[in-house]
Every structure is written in structure tokens, then in C-alpha cells.
Amino acid sequence: MDAARRKIVQTAAAAAIGVALALACLPLGVYPRLACAVLDAGCPAGAPRGELPRVTRLTAVQVAQSGTYVALGDSYSSGEGVWELDQPPVNDGADRCHRSEGSYVPLVAKTYRFGGGTAFYACSGATTRQLLSGQHGQPPQITRVTSAASLVTLSIGGNDAGFSKVLTGCIVKLPWSSACVEQDAAVARRIEELRTDLLKVLREVRVRAPSARVVVLGYPRPFPKEPVATVDNLSEADQRWLNTVARRLNDTVGSVVKDFDRAIAAFGAPGSAEYVDAYEAFDGHEVGRPQPYLNGLAVDMDELQVNARSYHPTGAGYRRFAELITHQIAAGPGRPMNNVLLTDPNAPRPGAAPPR
């Protein structure tokens, strides 16, 4: 092959490899080495061309553990159901966000060793918009996500749907009233509007941590599939309807997350968006069961107020969530990850004499 044709082939090969590496979001330092190895251009004076960098595809677990674990979200992630006034704060703002060591986040952090540690910033009451804009004078949760993040978990959407207010409206109604289920149209509208706001959250996380795995946790069914008695002034019909709301919310969140991950996979890009459906996670342990994983209605008699832990996971509930998350970390998104590790075969081994 003459020199001109060889140069054309080298150029085409470098371009193809460069496009592939760009799609994989690999470090910029790779390109000079490629130019040297493929085009024989840009090589340091006196340096041998050597071999191309070796590319190793990472497993889902390796991706998750490679950097920082960042935990975001609402009360179902912060630990509202087990938070106590006298407990030491997890970090800045924990007292306002009801961020508890009893949440699933510290349990996940104990199960896996994350190279960059854990950043726990979920906040009770958070909506998708507050996750992006901030609460209680604290920096927005989203600012805790950086390029160092390798795993991001969150639960979000329940407050956008107004679930707490809906539940309160159901509990305080007259026993024979249908006011609970009459909220259906308004709830359905808010859940549908959640699609756009959740997509904004996923996009923002992706911009900040383009190689991270993002795991979104759904919500559990609050009442037995077939209620048999009135609970907290909620009739059997009320409980079935609230179960339906939880299912509708989960289906909406899940569809947005799955569509987002399909787009990531279609471009062969690193990272993922993964949904964990927790709807059946508390089966046999719903409110009204002998050993519930959700707190029932809790009232502070001294202040005559409903305690915020009402209808939030118990310690057993958060441990169940931890099982779901740790299982998802191990299982991955159900497709190959496109995160890779580059190894320079030309780099001197530790202790080896420098090349002459």
C-alpha cells in the first residue's frame, strides 16, 4: 500500500475510533494517544508509538461503586418515618429535612463500598421543582450531584401528586362521605403533569453526572390488596382507591424513567436510568396488618397534630427498601453498560525502570 493510501486509511480509522470514543464520553487524554498510534501524529519527541489503549467494559456494580453515591429525593428517602427530634443530624439541614440514619440510604452505603463515599441529601416534603430549586434555605439537592457521582438514588413524585393532602382529605371526611374518591380527577391531572417535571430532573442529573447510574424508587401499596376493615376512618373503597393512586403514580414515574434509559442505550452512551417498582414491596405488611412496614395514623396528643411519620415507612419498611436498592445495584439496568475503563499498555509499571 502506497503512502497516500495508507494515510487515508489511517485517517478514516482514527475518525471512526474518535467518534466511538466521543459517544462513550471517554477522557480527552485518549485522543492524543490515538493520533500518535493511528496517524503517527502528535507523538512526543523520541517516544515510541506503542499500542492503542485497551478498553474494558465495566459491569453494572463496577459503575455504581466507581465514584460517589448521591442519595436524593423526598420523605420516603430521607427517613421521615423513623426520624426523631433528638437524633444527631446526618449533615447540614437534616433537622429541617428529617434526614435519618434509619433510612435505606445508610444501609445501602454499608452494603457497598463506594469509591467517593456517600452524599445523603434527600429532604422530606420535596417536589421535583424543589429538588431543583431548594428547600428550607438549603442548596438545591441537585447541586450535590457532580461528575464524581457514580450512583444516584431518589424517590420523587408523591408530593407533586399531593398524596399527603389527598390522604388527609380522606381521613378527615365524614365516615359516610365519598369526598375521598371525589379527588380522583384532580389527582390524575397532577400525576400526568409530573411527567414533564420528572424528565427535567433526570436531564439535570444526566448533565451533571453523565456516566452515573440513576436509580428511581417507586412507592409501596399502602393498604392490602383486598381491604377487610375500615382503617383510620378510611373505608374499604377509600383504601382501594388510594392503592389505585399509588399504582397510577408508580406507572407514570416508571414509564418516564424507562423511556429515558432507552434513549441513553440507543446512543450507546454511558450511565443508565433505572426504575425500581416498590408497589408490591410491602405485600402482607401494609397499614392495618399485624406487622406493618408503614406507620398508620400517628397523632401527637400534646399538640393535637398529625405526626409527619404517618403513612411513611417504619424501620422494617426502610430495610425492605434497602433490599430493593441493593438488589438493583447488583442486577443493573437489564442491558450492557456502556461505561468503559481505559488501560494504557504503554504506561510504565510501578517499580519498572523508565524507558531509554
Catalytic residues, by residue number, are: 75, 312
Query: How many angstroms separate the CA atoms of 300 and 232, rounded?
Result: 15
The set of long-range contacts for 19-27, using a CB threshold of 8 Å and a minimum separation of 24, is 23/267, 23/268, 23/269, 24/268, 24/269, 24/270, 24/338, 24/339, 24/340, 25/210, 25/211, 25/269, 25/270, 26/340, 26/342, 27/342
The architecture of the domain spanning 60-331 is 3-Layer(aba) Sandwich (3.40)
Q: Kindly list the domain boundaries of the chain, sorted by start residue.
A: 3-57, 60-331
Mean pLDDT check: name the lowest of 98-102, 192-196, 253-257: 98-102
pLDDT at 263 over 80: yes
Of the chain, the percentage scoring pLDDT greater than 90 comes to: 62
**Is 319:104 a contact under the CB 8 Å cutoff?**
yes
Cα separation values, 354 from 33, 346, 347, 351, Å: 19, 11, 10, 9
Calculate mean pLDDT across residues 305-323: 89
pLDDT tens sequence across 50-62: 677 788 899 999 9
Query: How many angstroms separate the CA atoms of 61 and 328, rounded?
Result: 9
pLDDT tens sequence across 68-88: 999 999 999 999 999 886 677
Instruction: Kindly write down the DSSP assignment for every residue of 149-176, as one continuous string.
Output: EEEEEE--STTTTTHHHHHHHHHSS-TT
